[in-house]
Amino acid sequence: MDRRSFLTKAAVGGTAAAAATTLAAPLYAQGKRTLTMVTTWGRGLAGVHDAAQRVADTITAMTDGQLTVDLKAAGELVGAFEVFDAVTSGQADMYHGADYYFVGQHPGYAFFTSVPMGMTAQELVNWYYHGDGAAFHDELGEIFGLKSFLAGNTGAQAGGWFRKEITSAEDFNGLKFRMPGLGGKALGKLGASVQNLPGGEVYQALSSGAIDGTEWIGPWADEKAGFQEITKIYYTAGFHEPGAGLSLAFNREVYDSFTPTQQKIVEIASGEAHQWNLAQFLANNSAALARLQAAGVKALEFPENVWDAFAGAAQAVHDENLGDEIYKRIYDSYIASMKSSSAWIKLSDGAYTAQRDRTLG
């Protein structure tokens, strides 16, 4: 499974690697480097592109231009789902994206975006920074020649946009629905025909009828995408991404070539982008939902029998992957941390906000 050795050998002599070496030589001599970041996001996609631009700009500013990050949005150098291979092969220096797009490389990557019925944003960073999360992210990276960091978070994502209301799990049977990652695999177990589309392609697919419904992120990003122009049925809580992390991943040889100071700057810039981006989504969602509702959008919740079906399908997907030794170790650590974090959050934040909102009226 030593894909790093294979990819390193495959890249030697490649035209992209040769060109990069030639162009970079004078910059290295001057102590300055221009690094190419590719992303899974279309340029301007609300929130997610902002997170990529934020971390790129912060690295450039904090290194005083010694590391200048040149951001290429999806399709500008490689396609949205090609960024992983572009970075492991040396065609690009780093990517910003959602790691659950790369479960084909290893299903364990899903945990660093989100898994169905998994962690909230707060629970994720508890595990990542004060549990085993970062170490597991690094372990997967060693296999593929990457060094990864959390660098964004959407918070809890909405259940999505539908052409008709969902009253039972049977309503998913035959439904053409856009949902990536393990959440999509779980929805497939309920009979949905699951599509994995880059964000920049979702509006057209929904508008044309190529898909019957879609999840994207939440009210603010969804409003910006314009899905309310196509359908007015919107489920505000989803099972698939309760706290979706975004990742910054470097080609490991590129990262190892940085000075210790530059490596620390990358770490700090990534963490700052995570918190800034999470706050960006949460600060904008309520006002956006109010505007959507004023425009006729029906904000709905899935019935409990559907949530039960979601939970069963999610566990079935995990069970299929537990035979993989790395996946099982990540899963066991993740679930233990989630249960521990949830036990206190429910008794503290959960109880407090329920009473606060009750007394405020």
Residue by residue, pLDDT tens for the chain (361 residues) are 444 443 433 343 343 343 343 344 333 434 799 999 999 999 999 999 999 999 999 999 999 999 999 999 999 999 999 999 999 999 999 999 999 999 999 999 999 999 999 999 999 999 999 999 999 999 999 999 999 999 999 999 999 999 999 999 999 999 999 999 999 999 999 999 999 999 999 999 999 999 999 999 999 999 999 999 999 999 999 999 999 999 999 999 999 999 999 999 999 999 999 999 999 999 999 999 999 999 999 999 999 999 999 999 999 999 999 999 999 999 999 999 999 999 999 999 999 999 999 999 7
pLDDT for position 31:
78
Q: Which residues contact 113 (CB under 8 A, 6 or more apart)?
A: 98, 99, 100, 101, 181, 241, 244, 245, 246, 247
Give the C-alpha separation, 258 to 256, whole Å: 5
Both tokens of residue 344? 């206190």
Q: Give the start-end residues of each E strand in the chain.
A: 33-39, 67-72, 94-97, 146-153, 160-162, 176-178, 193-195, 213-214, 233-235, 245-251, 298-300
CA 336 to chain centre: 22
Looking at the domain 15-153+243-282, which fold is it?
D-Maltodextrin-Binding Protein; domain 2 (3.40.190)
Q: Which residues contact 306 (CB under 8 A, 6 or more apart)?
A: 166, 168, 169
Give the C-alpha separation, 318 to 327, whole Å: 9
pLDDT for position 259:
97
Whole-model pTM?
0.90
The amino acid occupying position 150 is: L
